[in-house]
Structure 1
Amino acid sequence: MAAGERVAVVGASGAGKSTLLGVVNGSVPPTAGGVRVHGGDPAALRGRELRRLRARTGTIHQHLELVGPLRVVHNVNAGRLGSWSAARALRSLVQPHGLDDVRSALEQVGLADRMFERTDRLSGGERQRVALARVLVQRPDLVLADEPASALDPALADEAMRLLGELAADRGGALLASLHDPALALRHCDRVVGLAAGRVVLDAPAASLTLPELEAFYGVVR
């Protein structure tokens, strides 16, 4: 991927989209081949080196991985744990740090008034926006997003993709997002990679594809 590039990964459920993102962030070991991220192989890294890579890689997981009983502010601040000491992280659970940055991120996703709400009291769409805010405060070089707009209405989905693309571009990084909506892929990404049974069966500039063509691809691989 080139600096600033936004790549959509598309395909049916089970095609390998989430697995690909897991390989890139080092949480899933590849069964064959490999990847290089920030100049290193995630599968070969351990300890501090792996933590350093993950600190530079922001991930929105399909199941969000939020801690429900914690307040929103703590879940958003979790995006910075890779750059904080253990002592600072523990202190922040008592007296949250970086409130201005958290508030700014929540304002961008329309949740500034829910900063001290318990996260498990939010709707599914609101929790998705908390996960987005967590990546915004992390300010990573690479953003991995697994269905980042699946629980959002169309307007919020467009805004979420815009924010993720800008975040990647601002730092000269990149965005790799698995998307179930072909229209979102065409509007917000530079390149579309299609997977079927773990193999790349489509790789084309988004500008060269039409919505009917991509919808037909979804129909073929489902």
Structure 2
Amino acid sequence: MAAGERVAVVGASGAGKSTLLNVLNGTVVPTAGTVEVLGRDPSALRGRELRQVRARTGTVHQHLELTGALRVVHNVNAGRLGSWSAARAAWSLLRPQGVPEVRAALDRVGLADRVFERTDRLSGGQRQRVALARLLVQRPDLVLADEPASALDPALADLALELLGEPARSRGGALLVCLHDPALALRHCDRVVGLLDGRVALDAPATSLTLADLERFYGVVR
């Protein structure tokens, strides 16, 4: 991926999309070959070096990785733990830090009034937006997102992809996003990569593809 690039990864369930993201964020070690993230191989890093790469990598997981019993402010602040000391992180659980920044991030996803609400009281779509706000306060260089719009209505889905693409558009970062919706891929990404049984079966600029092309790739018949 080049700096400033937004890449959509598409494919049927089980094609390997989530596994690819987990390899890139360092939670899964590849059984063969190598991977380079921000110029480094995560599987070869330990300690401080690994934390530095992870701090520059923001991940929106398919299952969101939120703690339901905590208030929204704490889940959003989790995006900044990589740049905070252990003491500040612990103190923030008692007296939330950076509330204005958290509120501003939540405002961008339409949840500014939920800062201190328990996360498990939110709907699935609202929790998905909390995960987006967590990414906004982290300000990563590389964004990895696994089905970030699956629980959102069409307008919010477009907003989510706009926000996820900000690092690529504004500061030379990059976005790799797994999507089931071909239309979102074409509207918000520069390149589309299609996976089939763990292998790349499609790799083309979004401008060279049509919705019909991607529907044929998925085997969709209208």
| TM-score normalized with structure 1 length | 0.97
Q: Which residue of 2 aligns with 1:202?
A: 202
Q: Provide, for residues 199-221 of structure 1, a one-character-per-residue CA deviation record: whole Å limited to 9, x for no partner.
A: 0000000000000110111117x
* Structure 2 unmatched ranges of 5 or more: none
Q: Which residue of 2 aligns with 1:133?
A: 133
Find the residue that maps to 2:219 and give its secondary structure: helix
Find the residue that maps to 2:54 and give its secondary structure: helix
Which amino acid in the other structure matches residue 121 of structure 1? R
1:167 matches 2:167: yes
Shifted more, 186-195 versus 167-176: the winner is 167-176
Q: Which residue of 1 aligns with 2:188?
A: 188
1:28 matches 2:33: no
Q: Provide, for residues 56-97 of structure 1, a one-character-per-residue CA deviation record: whole Å limited to 9, x for no partner.
A: 000000000000000000000000000101000000011111
Find the residue that maps to 1:145 and give its secondary structure: strand
Question: In the TM superposition, what is the alpha-carbon distance from 1:49 to its structure 2 partner?
Answer: 1.1
CA distance in 1, matches of 2:167, 2:125: 20
Shifted more, 183-192 versus 167-176: the winner is 167-176
Q: Provide, for residues 145-173 of structure 1, a one-character-per-residue CA deviation record: whole Å limited to 9, x for no partner.
A: 00000000000000000111123322210
* Structure 1 unmatched ranges of 5 or more: none
1:9 matches 2:9: yes
Aligned residues of 2:4 and 2:167 also touching (Cα < 8 A): no
Question: In the TM superposition, what is the alpha-carbon distance from 1:99 to its structure 2 partner?
Answer: 1.0
Aligned residues of 1:55 and 1:83 also touching (Cα < 8 A): yes
Which amino acid in the other structure matches residue 81 of structure 2? L
Identical pairs, percent: 80
Which amino acid in the other structure matches residue 186 of structure 1? L
CA distance in 1, matches of 2:219, 2:131: 30
Shifted more, 168-177 versus 99-108: the winner is 168-177
Any runs of at least 4 consecutive aligned residues in structure 1 with deviations exceeding 6 A, and if so which? none
Aligned residues of 1:140 and 1:168 also touching (Cα < 8 A): no
| TM-score normalized with structure 2 length | 0.97
CA distance in 2, matches of 1:168, 1:125: 24
